[in-house]
Amino acid sequence: MRNLEVLKPLSSLLIKPTGADCNIDCKYCFYLDRAGTPRPGFDSEKGMGRQMGRRMSEEVQESLIRQAMRGGSSQISFGWQGGEPTLMGVEFFRRAVSLQRQYGTNGQIVGNGLQTNGLLMDEEWCDFLRETHWLVGLSIDGPAHVHDHYRVTRNGQPTYEKVRAAALLMRAKNVEYNALSVVNSYSVRFAKDIYNHHKDLGIRFMQFIPCVERDPNDPTKAAEFSVSAEDYGKFLCEIFDCWKGDFRSGKPTVSVRYFDSIFHTYVNVPPPECTLLSECGNYVVVEYNGDVFSCDFFVEGEWRLGNVLNDSLIHLLNSPRQKEFGEMKADMPQECYSCDYLAHCHGGCTKDRLRDPADGGSNHFCKSFLRFFRHADPDLKRLAEEWKRQQKALAQREEFLRRMSVR
């Protein structure tokens, strides 16, 4: 058996405790057909969307948490997603925290994040999330006409008002949360409206996720809800100008995850967003039945690594198959190697080269990023230089104080 000390530690994993089960029926959902067959016999009046039945067992939950906590990392991050993870009920997550404490070591830092559509959010949930310091990613695409364009129940009913109520409740209960917004063929037209809508709700942390999927009825083209490269490029520029306009005393007052991550690349620090790294494969996904996959966007048979009940998570993360998946990102289209912005983009997300056949293996959003960088590069370079000067001045001050203290 390999020595754990020579293996890459497990510092992050994404968990799907309900698989693709959800209580709404988003028309652009990419996950519906990628999580196997649900167990029969489950029925719930909460289930307004798809067939229910995928539920993580206590055995799988304990195995994955025990392995993760003992996976060799001083910091470990658990991302709980779906489908809709709150369908598990709050007791499932209380047990998760208990297991993390049981199997953790002194000084180990643990983070938990919950991505939710917000429909089941109530005071009990808010109390738990606040008391245990969880970060919530609330799926909200923008104002009502934007959000309800695709995020509806199975019978076509809107969900915006319930999601807005969840946002206001979490704000009132001091739950830390941010906005996760899918950018699709409709919402891409309303960049400023979406940004200002989120601000009006008190949201100061935003993440925008561009949507491109293959048409299930015609595999030769992208689905109608997919956003075009041209439109998404314009969207990024408009959001950037909004973000820059909210600077106060030279510092941002709103966090946009993509811009934060891009900024890391301008100051030569590894970005937190995996799509901007030179290689993928730095985390794994655990499905409700314990199956482990290489990536959230590749939950399919080809990239199944094993199962937490039979295999070691740390070995799956360091397996030849996972390494092969990670290196696949570096096999970029030829045009990437001569691009002025390669160091900031690294070809984008691998899945965006595969979803639209019209792209011919190039990243669907290549033109988006080119337009964005040409627009934002001067500002990002200026901000990076200011940051470096501040860091240098801080280091000089610390060195001065250190010398004074030893006299």
Q: Residue with structure tokens 């690294």?
A: 346
Packed helices 123-131 and 90-103: angle between N→C axes, nearest 10 degrees: 10
Q: How far is it, in rounded angstroms, from Cα 18 to Cα 80?
A: 10
296 is catalytic: yes
Judge whether 112 and 46 are in contact, CB under 8 Å. Answer: no
Amino acid identity for residue 191 in this structure: A
Q: What count of residues does the chain have?
A: 407
Judge whether 314 and 71 are in contact, CB under 8 Å. Answer: yes
Q: Within 13 A of 229's CA, how many CA atoms are on the CB side?
A: 17
Token representation of residue 58:
């206590």
Q: How far is it, in rounded angstroms, from Cα 376 to Cα 235?
A: 13
Residue of 21, 148, 296, 352 marked active site: 296
Q: Within 13 A of 193's CA, how many CA atoms are on the CB side?
A: 13
Q: Which residues pair with 205 in a beta bridge?
A: 255
User: What Cα–Cα distance (Å) separates residue 83 from each residue in 32, 115, 150, 270?
Assistant: 8, 9, 15, 30
Token representation of residue 186:
């409709």
Q: How far is it, in rounded angstroms, from Cα 64 to Cα 252?
A: 38
Token representation of residue 261:
């991550």
The catalytic residues are 296
